[in-house]
Structure 1
Amino acid sequence: MTVTFDDTELRAPVEPALARQESRERVDREGRQFGVALGSGWIVFQSVVLVVGAGVLAALAVVAVQFMFGADGADLTTVVLAVLMVLPLAVARIRSHLRGPRDREVEEFRLARFTAANGLTYRTGELDPERSAALFGIGTSRIASDIVAGPSPRPFEAANYSFDTWVARARMPRVANYVAFELHSPLPAMTLVTKATGVAASGWEPTAPQERVQIDGEVASRFEVFTSRATEEPVRHLLSPDVQAALTAVAERCDIEAVGDRVYVIARRHLPMTEPAYWEWVADLAYLVALLEARGRAEQTTGLAASEPARATRREALFAAPKGGRAAAVGCLVPLLVGLAAAALITKISTG
C-alpha cells in the first residue's frame, strides 16, 4: 500500500520568523486576537497558581521536618529551602510558556503548507463542532483544532478534539483525535469500543438503542461491539475475518462509530498531525473503510495488505505515550527530597 499524501512539507525545515509572521497574519485574519491573548493569560495564571501552591506545600513539608528535629518553628531557612525546591518546577513552566507558542506556530505552518500541497483545506479550530458521532454530543468547552478536510483518498475530515466532562463538581479534561470518512455505500449503525490496554477513558458511551452484542472471532478480544437488535445480523456479517484483521492492524487502539453516512475512527488522545506517520495512518484507514463498504455490499474482500515493518513501527510510535512525563516528575521529586534532607541536616546542626 502506498502513501496517499505528499508529506514533503511536513519534513521540510521551517524558518521560525516566517512561521511567526504567518501565525500572526492568520490570527488577525480569523479575528482570534482576544482568544489568543485570553488563552495565553490563562496559561500564565495556571502556572502561577501551580508554582505558588507547590511552594506553600514545600514550606509546610520543610516546617514539619524542622519540628521533627527540634526546631521552634519556621525561619529564613524554611523560605529559602521551599524556594529552591520549587525552582525547577517554575523554570519548567516558564520554558514551556515561552516554547509552546513557538512550537504551535511551526505546527500551523507545516499543516498549512501540507494541506495546500495536497489540495486539502485547513482551519486552526472550531468551537462547539456539530458532528454526527456520539462523541460530539457530550461535555462542555468543546473545541476541534487543526481541522483538515479534503476529497481524497475519499471525502474525510481529521482533527484533534478537546472537551470537559464533570463528575460531581470535578472537571475531567478529555482529548481525542478523530478521522471521519464519508461513506459511498450505507453501513449498519454500530460502535466498536477498544479494549486496548493503556488507553485513556473515553468519557462517552454508545447511544441507545445500541447495546452490546457478542461477535465471534478476533474482534471479540479487541473491541466491544454495540448495535441495535435490528442490525445485529448485518453487523455480524460485516465483521468478517478479513475486516477483523484489518481493524486489529490499523485501529486496535481506537473507537469506531458508523452513523448515518459517516464512519468515525476516534483515538482517545491527541495525535501529532504534523508527523508523516499520521497521514500514512489516515491512508490506511481510508482503505479500511473501503473494505467495510465492500463487505457491506457482499463483494469479495481481500483484507488489508500487510504493510512493511517500518510502516507498522511508525504507526506504533504514533500512539506511543509521551516520554516527557516521567522525566519531569523525577526532575521535581529530586529537589523535594534533597530539600527535606537539607532541612533535617541544617536543623540538627543548628539545634546541637
Structure 2
Amino acid sequence: MDRTIDYSPLFSPPNPDEVAAYRRATLAARPEAQAQQIVRIVSWVIGGGMAVLIGITLLFPLVVSAASIVSGDADLIDLVGLLPPLVLVGVAILLIVRALHGRRHDWQNRLRMARFAEANGLLYSPQSEGPSYPGAIFGIGTSRQVTDHFRTTDDRFIDFGNYRYVTGSGKNRSTHHWGFLALHLDRALPHMLLDSRANNGLLGSTNLPAVFSREQVLSLEGDFDRHFTLYCPAEYERDALYVFTPDLMALLIDEAAPFDVEIIDRWMLVYSARPFPLGDPATYQRLLRIVTTVGAKTLTQTDRYVDERIGQFEANIVAPAGQRLRRGFSWASAAVIAIFVAVWLGGILSSVLR
C-alpha cells in the first residue's frame, strides 16, 4: 500500500441521523444480522421487563418505609435494611444504560470505519466469514467470524480485522478473540514464527493456540531474542537468516514487538492477543505502518528467494520439510496441571490421614 492514507474520516464523528441511516442500511443488506438484531431487542425487552418487575418488588417496601418516616410512624434506621436492594437496582440500571450507549457508540465507530475504507479504496464489512488462512489461529473451532473487516480491492492484497472462534461446548464453551493482519507475499517461504515475548502467559508460555517444538528455535543476534522467539524448520536456519536481516529485525522490534508474526506459504500474518479497538485511528495507523515498513522490507528481502532444495525460481514452492513447523508440547501448561493435581492429591491424602 504505497498511496497516502487519509485518516480524517476516523477523526470525524457522524451525526446521529447519519448513524441511524447507516445502521438501517447495514441491517437491511444482511438479513441474518437483522434477525440477530431482533433477537437482541427481544432479549433486551424481556430483560428490561424483568428488571422493572424486580425493581418495583424491591422498591415498594422502600416507598412504604419512606412514607412511614414522613408520617412519623417509622425511624430513618428502618431504611438501612433496604439499602442493598436499592444499590442492586441502581447498578442494574447503570449497566443497562451503559450497554445501550455502547451499542450506539459502536454503530458510530462502524460508520467512521466505513467512510475510512471508502476514502482509501478499501472494502469494509462489519461482519464476514472467517478466512481460510493457514496460520496458527485459523482453522480452529467453530463459528469462525471476522468483525470490523478491511480488505484491499486492488494492488497487493491486505486483510485486517478482528477474528473470533468458539471451542468446546456447554460449560467448557469458550470464545477466543484476536486481531489479525494478513499480507500476501510474492514468494513462497519456509514456515517461520516470531512468538512475541510481550504477550506470553504464565511461565513464559505462548499465548498462541499452537505450540511448536523448541528444537526449532533459532537465536538471532543483538537483543532480538528479548522481544521474539524465532521458530524455523530444521535445516532451514540459513534461509531464516536470509529473511531476517538486521534491518528487518530492527523494524520488527520498533513496529511489531507486541504482536506475534507468522510467515507461512505466501503469507505474512500478524496476530494481536486482543481485538483491535473499534475505529481507533492510532490502531489503524500502526497496522498500516507495519505494512509499509515490516511488510515492505519482507517483500524486498524475499523477492529473489529460492528454496535450494527445489532450486527453481519459477516453481515458487518450498520443499515439504520446510512447509510446516513441527508441533510441540507446552511444558508450562504441564507444570500448571502437575501443580493442580499435586494440590488436589495432597488435600485428599490429608483428609484420609486425619
Same fold by TM-score greater than 0.5: yes
Relative contact order, higher structure (CA 8 A, sep 6+): 1
Counterpart of 2:217 in structure 1: which amino acid?
A: V
Structure 1 residues 47 and 182: alpha-carbon distance in aligned structure 2, compared to 1, 3 A threshold: farther
Picking from 243, 267, 275, the partner of 2:272 is 267
Deviations 1:270-305 (A, max 9, x none): 112522222321222112112123223479xxxxxx
**Do 2:106 and 2:278's aligned partners in 1 also have CA atoms closer than 8 Å?**
no
Mapped to 2, the partners of 1:212 and 1:44 lie a distance apart of 55
Deviations 1:48-68 (A, max 9, x none): 999x9xxxxxxxxxxxxxxxx
How far is 1:180 from its partner?
Answer: 0.5
Equivalent residues in 2 for 1:227-266, closer than 5 Å: 227-266=232-271
How far is 1:141 from its partner?
Answer: 3.2
| Residues 1:12 and 2:12 aligned together | yes
How far is 1:203 from its partner?
Answer: 4.9
Deviations 1:52-108 (A, max 9, x none): 9xxxxxxxxxxxxxxxxxxxxxxx979723313324431331112211221121112
How far is 1:193 from its partner?
Answer: 1.3
Picking from 171, 176, 184, the partner of 2:186 is 184
Deviations 1:1-43 (A, max 9, x none): x983101111123111211111111111121211222345567
Q: Give TM-score, length-normalised by structure 2.
A: 0.67
Tell me the matched-pair count: 275
Counterpart of 1:241 in structure 2: which amino acid?
A: P
* Equivalent residue, structure 1, for 2:283: 278
Structure 1 residues 96 and 130: alpha-carbon distance in aligned structure 2, compared to 1, 3 A threshold: farther
Counterpart of 2:257 in structure 1: which amino acid?
A: E
Partner SS state of residue 143, structure 1? strand
Structure 1 residues 249 and 30: alpha-carbon distance in aligned structure 2, compared to 1, 3 A threshold: same
Mapped to 2, the partners of 1:140 and 1:211 lie a distance apart of 31
Counterpart of 1:251 in structure 2: which amino acid?
A: A
Partner SS state of residue 205, structure 1? coil
Structure 1 residues 49 and 171: alpha-carbon distance in aligned structure 2, compared to 1, 3 A threshold: farther
Partner SS state of residue 295, structure 1? helix
**Do 1:145 and 1:160's aligned partners in 2 also have CA atoms closer than 8 Å?**
yes
* C-alpha RMSD over aligned residues: 3.5
* Equivalent residue, structure 2, for 1:29: 29
Mapped to 1, the partners of 2:214 and 2:49 lie a distance apart of 46
Deviations 1:213-234 (A, max 9, x none): 1222222111122222143331
Counterpart of 1:213 in structure 2: which amino acid?
A: V
**Do 1:195 and 1:221's aligned partners in 2 also have CA atoms closer than 8 Å?**
yes
Picking from 186, 192, 197, the partner of 1:195 is 197
Structure 2 unaligned blocks of 5 or more = 54-77, 306-354
Mapped to 2, the partners of 1:245 and 1:24 lie a distance apart of 46
How far is 1:130 from its partner?
Answer: 2.6
Structure 1 unaligned blocks of 5 or more = 53-75, 300-352
- Bigger shift: residues 276-285 or 154-163: 276-285
Mapped to 2, the partners of 1:137 and 1:88 lie a distance apart of 43
